[in-house]
A = this chain, B = another copy of it.
Amino acid sequence: MVFGNMGNTSATGVGFTRDASTGENIFNGEYLINAQGEDVVAGIRTPQQITLIGSKRWAESQGVPEDVRKNQFPSLEESLPETYQELKNVQEKLEQHFKDMQDIEFTIQNGKLWLLQCRSGKRTGAAMVQIACDLLREGKIDEKTALKRIEPNKLDELLHPIFTPEALKTAKFVAKGLPASPGAASGQIVFFADEAKKFAQSILVRIETSPEDLEGMNIARGILTARGGMTSHAAVVARGMGKCCVCGAGSLNINYKQRTLEVNGKVYAEGDWISLNGSTGDVFEGKLQTQEAQLSGDFGLIMDWAEKYTRMYVRTNADTPKDAQIARKFGAKGIGLTRTEHMFFEGERIKAMREMILASDLTGRQTALAKLLPFQRSDFEGIFEAMNGYGVTIRLLDPPLHEFVPHETAQQQELAQDMGLTLDQVKQKVHELAEFNPMLGHRGCRLGITYPEITEMQTRAIIEAALNIKAKGMDVKPEIMVPLVGNVNELEHQLKVVKKTAETVFKERNDTIHYLVGTMIEVPRACLVADQIGQIAEFFSFGTNDLTQMTLGFSRDDAGKFLPYYINNGILKVDPFQVLDRQGVGKMVELAVKNGKSTNPHLKVGICGEHGGEPSSVEFFHIVGLDYVSCSPFRVPIARVAAAIANLTHP
């Protein structure tokens, strides 16, 4: 044992070979004269800077005059210059040896320098990028090593606005939720999606969100919910939009009637300012200053390496041309999932959709579907245009119809009037559509099978849109995805409807286009019979959200009741909706890939669940041989780097 508290030629401290916050190549750190490590940690004395330049920068930032600094807070470089020089030489040697930024603990006992430990230092996302690129430029590491130095998740910090460190210092903490979608946002509280416009900057505060809230979610600066996990509706949609979101903040008591939010006795009303950190899950009071995301040239460099070393490519989950463009900018090569139902909630669309649902017979449904056709077609045109040159996977209608009908009497009354029905008839229909477990109910291809006219309309919209964009001279590659298939007969049924409709459109237009038909693999049974399904599917896309729900028997909307307990008590290491459960869900994926390729070696295989943007999951998908992962636009760079590192680690 050595002692740093043996007098004024003794000291203790921590040094970094580069700046852990910015990545700047400058030796830095803190020390205390006549002290032990505990004293630095305890925070009783103000630690001093090791280098003179560091000390001067510190004094400037703290408003400490130079004479005070020099006398009361001198740098080690000034107070023990010889030992400082020795330490400086040692840190250079250590970095040269380990070829990475080092975090070095040292003690000086009566002028003699002792090193206690050194290790690769923790760093911010910005520093991580800077240091990796600098080390490469300095010739200390090669490109592959530089790439492996990137923790993909940390790139997130570079892609979203953050609160300024100054703002955070004085911020008043209100509550903690799940870091559902990264970024920082301040705004005035609104409790209803259709009131998001009420303030120029609003934060939508809900117990939970539903597809009806989509427009308001888009307008709000950020979203805060009291219920729901990392794959709840709010979380998924917010990530897709690249919008800051904190989910499942259980301590919030939201009263829609009184338009109040109560936390630990304190009440916030509509219009009050609130701030969300979607990267940490923190909720703060008031308006906090944010700083915008800035992508450096080094970020582009890393993307180039990702491109060079990856085997898998990355697509995006996008429902709008805007999302598609953002993702494309980040290097997405196609769309892995367009959810058509997200297009059904605006204005006239939802009316036609509801008319379709409430129709009493085929003719009624066809009439309503005919109204939806032009909306769908023009939506698809926008997306095809945005993804010119790349494949676009469009999923046929998936959610249970109950999600589209109004549940409040006033809206039901309105719908009844529009449709010439009585309120009771509408209520009856809504009641009939209710399900005990909608997740396992009448949804996915079960809708397209019992109502083939829906699949017909959607296929027509896709093929017509594709031909229209092709006519503009663009390269359109539509991929029609049948959801929730568990039995090859289901896909066969839908395949027939799709092919027949496409042929009809081709004849009408006297033109054709190449398209693929595949299926989403999200029901456990589909993995077991993937050899049969592979015989008629042109691609598989794993829906790992639902596959996780069914394989584990966890409803993602309800798991909040036990999942936190499971994680806190070591029953689960991580949330399986965030990080793919390799032993369970992963085994199913592996089985499906093996089975599917056994009968169809050319089967294209990807994944479009939320796991597509999570590095450990991406690594697994690389290992089992998937062709691509698809994720929300702002996760694309992360997935790209993760895929490339996975390929370097598991060649």
A residues in contact (CB < 8 Å) with B: 435-442, 446, 449-450, 484, 486-487, 489-490, 493, 522-525, 528-529, 546, 549-555, 557-559, 561-562, 565-566, 569-572, 581, 583-585, 587-588
Q: Find chain B residues with CB under 8 A from A585 CB.
A: 525
The 6 closest A-B pairs by CB, nearest first: A440-B555, A525-B584, A437-B555, A441-B558, A442-B561, A436-B557
B440, B442, B484: the one contacting A437 at CB < 8 Å is B440
Q: Find chain B residues with CB under 8 A from A493 CB.
A: 569, 571
Query: How many angstroms between the C-alpha atoms of A571 and B445 in the bound complex?
Result: 12
Question: Quick one: closest B residue to A208, CB to CB?
Answer: B436
- Known contacts A436-B438, A571-B489, A572-B489: A583-B528 contact under CB 8 Å: yes
Contact B523 A553 (CB under 8 A): yes
B436, B442, B551: the one contacting A439 at CB < 8 Å is B436
Query: How many angstroms between the C-alpha atoms of A550 and B522 in the bound complex?
Result: 11
Contact A572 B487 (CB under 8 A): yes
Q: Find chain B residues with CB under 8 A from A446 CB.
A: 561-562
Contact A440 B524 (CB under 8 A): no
Contact B449 A566 (CB under 8 A): yes
- Known contacts A449-B571, A558-B438, A572-B487: A552-B523 contact under CB 8 Å: yes
- Known contacts A437-B440, A439-B437, A557-B436: A524-B551 contact under CB 8 Å: yes
Contact B583 A529 (CB under 8 A): yes
Residue of A490, A558, A585, A588 with highest tally of chain B CB at under 10 A: A558
Contact B450 A558 (CB under 8 A): no
Question: Quick one: closest B residue to A436, CB to CB?
Answer: B557
- Known contacts A524-B588, A562-B446, A562-B450: A438-B441 contact under CB 8 Å: no
Q: Give the distance to chain B from A231, nearest Cβ to Cβ, in Å.
A: 12
B522, B523, B552, B555: the one contacting A486 at CB < 8 Å is B552
**What are 9 inter-chain pairs, A to B, with CB distance below 8 A?**
A436-B558, A439-B440, A440-B440, A487-B571, A493-B569, A493-B571, A522-B553, A523-B553, A524-B553
Contact B583 A553 (CB under 8 A): no
Q: Find chain B residues with CB under 8 A from A572 CB.
A: 487, 489
Contact A440 B551 (CB under 8 A): no
Counting every copy of the chain, the complex holds 2
Query: How many angstroms between the C-alpha atoms of A381 and B528 in the bound complex?
Result: 43
- Known contacts A524-B524, A584-B529, A588-B528: A441-B552 contact under CB 8 Å: no
Q: Find chain B residues with CB under 8 A from A550 CB.
A: 440, 524, 550-551, 553
Contact B440 A484 (CB under 8 A): no
Question: Quick one: closest B residue to A486, CB to CB?
Answer: B552
- Known contacts A571-B490, A571-B493: A441-B581 contact under CB 8 Å: no
Q: Give the distance to chain B from A515, nearest Cβ to Cβ, in Å.
A: 24
Query: How many angstroms between the C-alpha atoms of A27 and B62 in the bound complex?
Result: 113
B529, B562, B584, B587: the one contacting A449 at CB < 8 Å is B562
- Known contacts A487-B571, A489-B571: A553-B440 contact under CB 8 Å: yes
Chain A binding surface, main DSSP class = helix
Q: Find chain B residues with CB under 8 A from A524 CB.
A: 524, 550-553, 584, 588
B435, B555, B581: the one contacting A435 at CB < 8 Å is B555
Contact B436 A587 (CB under 8 A): no
Q: Find chain B residues with CB under 8 A from A588 CB.
A: 524, 528
Q: Find chain B residues with CB under 8 A from A489 CB.
A: 570-572
Q: Give the distance to chain B from A353, nearest Cβ to Cβ, in Å.
A: 18
Contact A553 B571 (CB under 8 A): no
Contact A441 B561 (CB under 8 A): yes
Question: Quick one: closest B residue to A401, CB to CB?
Answer: B561
Query: How many angstroms between the C-alpha atoms of A550 and B562 in the bound complex?
Result: 19
Q: Give the distance to chain B from A610, nearest Cβ to Cβ, in Å.
A: 17
Contact A435 B558 (CB under 8 A): yes
Q: Find chain B residues with CB under 8 A from A583 CB.
A: 525, 528-529
Query: How many angstroms between the C-alpha atoms of A125 and B280 in the bound complex?
Result: 68
Query: How many angstroms between the C-alpha atoms of A529 and B552 in the bound complex?
Result: 11
Query: How many angstroms between the C-alpha atoms of A522 and B550 in the bound complex?
Result: 11
Query: How many angstroms between the C-alpha atoms of A525 and B565 in the bound complex?
Result: 20
Contact A484 B438 (CB under 8 A): no
Query: How many angstroms between the C-alpha atoms of A484 and B555 in the bound complex?
Result: 13
Query: How many angstroms between the C-alpha atoms of A554 and B553 in the bound complex?
Result: 12
Query: How many angstroms between the C-alpha atoms of A587 and B552 in the bound complex?
Result: 17
Q: Give the distance to chain B from A407, nearest Cβ to Cβ, in Å.
A: 14
Q: Find chain B residues with CB under 8 A from A437 CB.
A: 437-440, 549, 555, 557-558
Q: Give the distance to chain B from A599, nearest Cβ to Cβ, in Å.
A: 14
- Known contacts A487-B571, A525-B584, A571-B487: A440-B562 contact under CB 8 Å: no
With A446-B561, A493-B571 given, name 13 new contacts (CB 8 A): A435-B561, A436-B438, A436-B558, A437-B438, A438-B555, A440-B549, A442-B558, A449-B566, A450-B562, A486-B552, A487-B584, A489-B572, A525-B584
Q: Find chain B residues with CB under 8 A from A552 CB.
A: 486, 523-525
Q: Give the distance to chain B from A484, nearest Cβ to Cβ, in Å.
A: 7
Q: Give the distance to chain B from A227, nearest Cβ to Cβ, in Å.
A: 10
Residue of A528, A565, A587 with highest tally of chain B CB at under 10 A: A528
Q: Give the distance to chain B from A563, nearest Cβ to Cβ, in Å.
A: 9
Q: Give the distance to chain B from A91, nearest Cβ to Cβ, in Å.
A: 44
Q: Find chain B residues with CB under 8 A from A529 CB.
A: 583-584
Contact A484 B584 (CB under 8 A): no
- Known contacts A565-B449, A571-B490, A587-B528: A484-B553 contact under CB 8 Å: yes
Query: How many angstroms between the C-alpha atoms of A572 and B486 in the bound complex?
Result: 11
Residue of A438, A525, A529, A583 with highest tally of chain B CB at under 10 A: A525
- Known contacts A439-B437, A553-B440, A553-B523: A486-B584 contact under CB 8 Å: yes
Q: Give the distance to chain B from A624, nearest Cβ to Cβ, in Å.
A: 14
Q: Find chain B residues with CB under 8 A from A484 CB.
A: 553
Q: Find chain B residues with CB under 8 A from A565 CB.
A: 449-450
- Known contacts A524-B550, A525-B584, A528-B584: A442-B562 contact under CB 8 Å: yes
Contact A440 B558 (CB under 8 A): yes
Residue of A446, A524, A549, A569 with highest tally of chain B CB at under 10 A: A524
